[in-house]
Amino acid sequence: DGNDMLFGGDQEDTILGGDLNDTISGGNQADSILGEAGEDSILGDGSNDTIEAGDGKDVVDGGQGQDSILGEGGTDSILGGSEDDFIDGGDDNDTIAGGADDDEILGDAGRDLLYGDDGDDTIDGGTEDDRIYGGNGEDSLLGDSGADTIFGGADDDTIDGGGENDSIFGDDGNDSL
């Protein structure tokens, strides 16, 4: 259980990190990656991966494919990558960018920075005060609870601040606020 470097191969792999700071790369197929505790750096790489970052300040890049990424505990930085991804930041204050295509992003607990980027994204800030940026595409943006700041971006967006004193900016397009 040290600071490990773990690499998947050309098959579907299950990769388990340890309790310290690991560097994990999934490989070319659909992998299951469990970062566990520590400040991990995780790359899903090719195909449709399932990634659970674990507790700690993690950096996750889903890479290519339709990925499912769970940040869990810790202040995480997560990039979905290409194709349609599902990303749940988990606890603490996370920075999440969906990447290209149509992503579903949940900030969950903590004060999160959430970026939809390109595609028709669905973003839910979760609890606390979040900053949400829709980007290009027809996005559905929900602040949920907390005093959120929401920017629609280009195209026709649907924006709902949720239950607190929110600041909402539609930007370009015919937006529903």
Question: Residue 96 and residue 33: Cα distance in Å, rounded?
Answer: 18
**Average of pLDDT values for 25-44?**
95
**What is the DSSP-derived secondary structure letter of residue 115?**
E
pLDDT tens by residue, 2-31: 789 999 999 999 999 999 999 999 999 999
SS3 of the chain: helix, strand, coil, percent, to 5: 0, 35, 65
User: Which carries the bigger pLDDT value, residue 45 or residue 62?
Assistant: 62
So where are the chain's domains?
15-92, 106-172
How many Å apart are CA 6 and CA 110, to the nearest integer? 30
Q: What is the pLDDT of residue 1?
A: 61
Query: Can you give the pLDDT at residue 21?
Result: 96
Per-residue pLDDT band for 46 (boundaries 50, 70, 90) equals confident
Query: Does residue 164 carry a pLDDT above 90?
Result: no
For the segment 82-97, what is each residue's pLDDT rounded down to a tens digit?
999 999 999 999 999 9
Residue 163's pLDDT band (boundaries 50, 70, 90)?
confident
Per-residue pLDDT tens over the stretch 88-143 = 999 999 999 999 899 999 999 999 999 999 999 999 999 999 999 999 999 999 99
- CB-based contact 104:87 (threshold 8 Å): yes
Q: What is the pTM of this model?
A: 0.95
What is the three-state SS of 46-102?
A: CCCCEEECCCCCCEEECCCCCCEEECCCCCCEEECCCCCCEEECCCCCCEEECCCCC
